Amino acid sequence: MVEIRPFKAIRYTKKAGDLENLVAEPYDKIDEKMQNEYYAKSPYNFCRVILPKEIDRYTIAKDRIQKWLTEKILAKDEDPAVFVCRQHFELNHRPVTRTGLIVASRLHSFRENKVFPHEVTYTAPKTDRLNMLRLVQKDLEPVFLIYSDEENITIDFFAQVARRQPLARVKDALEVEHTLWMVTDPVEIKLLQKTLEDKIFVITDGHHRYESAIAYRDEMCKQNPWNEDAAFNFHMSYIVPYQEEGLLVLPTHRLLKKHSVTNSIILALAKFFSISEIDPTTESIEAFLENHKDQHAYCIYERGKAHGLLLKDEKSVLRYITAGCKESCLLDVVILRDLIFKNIFKTGELELDEDILYARWTKEAIAKVDSHEANIAFLLNPVSPETVWRIAQKRERLPEKSTDFYPKMVSGLMMMDVSPEEQL
């Protein structure tokens, strides 16, 4: 069984100022330009904690949190609570709403078959977040988990709570409106715990943080008197039923920095794909992918040139797919990694930032190539939430950055104390 608990959240006080100037995108979505903008917004913007500019950023983050607590810029709630959190936004000119629950969720190693990952992780980000966690001893950002609610019990509960007066409402830099309701009633919390206890969770976002939290928990267990109620046994989590209508996944486009499309590459691709030349515009590329979303479709963009690729025959690809992930994992991102990158482009292992970049939007990917940040962009369709749910439970992992559950939870609404003395 999985276990959720309420916790005493650490949140900004009114003394900190307007919440809109305090929240930030997740640390791994913040580039240098955004970092500068967040720093300019407020001396208390949450970017100064999750991604400080200063060299000794872990110590800086720890000292800032302590200073802000002392100055009453931050304060810990007196009562433990869970939080209903709703995102309202527009995507492709249509309104979308997604609702979930922020809780303390008990950590489980993946071999326990209670929490499942769905993506491969990088070592460097895990080391970074573990180093941060060791010093600040706070969950700064929630991990994002999905579960199944076929009976609509939690979905109906969210709708009921959303009729109440919200605790906070804020619009982030991407024009996503986040609304937060606090739930402290023990009867309501017990209902949620009972409903969720026989569920399993799948990580959609925050794999690196989750694995780092497990490492931190294990270290704390060795260093301190251990008990089941210690907060370091849990992680602050945003949990959403995968039946939620507003649970959307965007593609994560890939960009190679050191490879080019040569005549021999085109000939090799032609063995597996029908290749057509398309207009090198955002609109044409997105239209091609949308029109072929039920096929294995890709667009390759070079400066001023674009090609559409359609896989001719799935069987021709199977022998190139990584062992242990065959028909059930014959997804666009896997074909791209195992056939196109590894076998046609001969990329070998790709190092983040050095060899490969990622982009959420087609326009962004094209701009990175046009500005010479990368040589080629590979654009593809997204994986569905249902596919992520199914693949994870087969104990199979998709390539790094295969999914982008949109929008991310904004950072700065709250954090959770996981210091050795904190009990839940």
Q: Does residue 365 surpass a pLDDT of 60?
A: yes
Band of residue 376 on the pLDDT scale cut at 50, 70, 90: very high
Lowest mean pLDDT among 121-135, 267-281, 366-380: 121-135
Query: What mean pLDDT do residues 162-171 have?
Result: 96
Q: pLDDT per residue over 340-357, tens digit each?
A: 999 999 998 888 789 999
Q: Does residue 44 surpass a pLDDT of 90?
A: yes
Q: Does residue 48 surpass a pLDDT of 80?
A: yes
Lowest mean pLDDT among 138-147, 201-210, 321-330: 321-330
Q: Does residue 328 surpass a pLDDT of 70?
A: no
Secondary structure, 3-state, 364-407: HHHHHHHCCCCCEEEEECCCCHHHHHHHHHCCCCECCCCCEEEC
- In the CATH scheme, what is the code of domain 252-381? 3.30.1760
Q: pLDDT per residue over 179-200, tens digit each?
A: 999 999 999 999 999 999 999 9
Domain boundaries, the chain: 4-248+407-417, 252-381
Query: What mean pLDDT do residues 85-102 have?
Result: 93
To the nearest whole percent, how much of the chain has pLDDT over 70?
98
Give the range with max mean pLDDT: 73-87, 89-103, 237-251, 381-395. 73-87
Give the range with max mean pLDDT: 88-92, 328-332, 354-358, 375-379. 375-379
pLDDT attached to residue 42 = 97
To the nearest whole percent, how much of the chain has pLDDT over 90?
75
pLDDT attached to residue 65 = 98
Provide the residue count of the chain.
424
Calculate the average pLDDT of the chain: 92
pLDDT attached to residue 399 = 76
Phi, psi of 101, rounded to the nearest 5 degrees: -130, 130
Q: Does residue 215 surpass a pLDDT of 80?
A: yes
Q: Does residue 230 surpass a pLDDT of 80?
A: yes
Q: Does residue 224 surpass a pLDDT of 80?
A: no
pLDDT attached to residue 401 = 79
Query: What mean pLDDT do residues 214-223 have?
Result: 92
Q: pLDDT per residue over 297-314, tens digit each?
A: 999 999 989 999 999 998
Query: What mean pLDDT do residues 397-402 have?
Result: 77
Secondary structure, 3-state, the chain: CCCEECECCEEECHHHCCHHHCCECCHHHCCHHHHHHHHHHCCCCCHHHHCCCCCCHHHHHHHHHHHHHHCCCEEECCCCEEEEEEEEEEECCEEEEEEEEEEEEECCCHHHCCEECCECCCHHHHHHHHHHHHHHCEECCCEEEEECCCCCHHHHHHHHHCCCCCCEEEECCCCCEEEEEEECCHHHHHHHHHHHCCCCEEEEECHHHHHHHHHHHHHHHHHCCCCCCEHHHEEEEEEEECCCCCCEEECCEEEECCCCCCHHHHHHHHCCEEEEEECCCHHHHHHHHHHCCCCCEEEEEECCEEEEEEECCHHHCHHHCCCCCCHHHCCHHHHHHHHHHHHHCCCCCCCECCCEEEECCHHHHHHHHHCCCCCEEEEECCCCHHHHHHHHHCCCCECCCCCEEECCCCECCCEEECCCCCEC
Q: Does residue 327 surpass a pLDDT of 60?
A: no
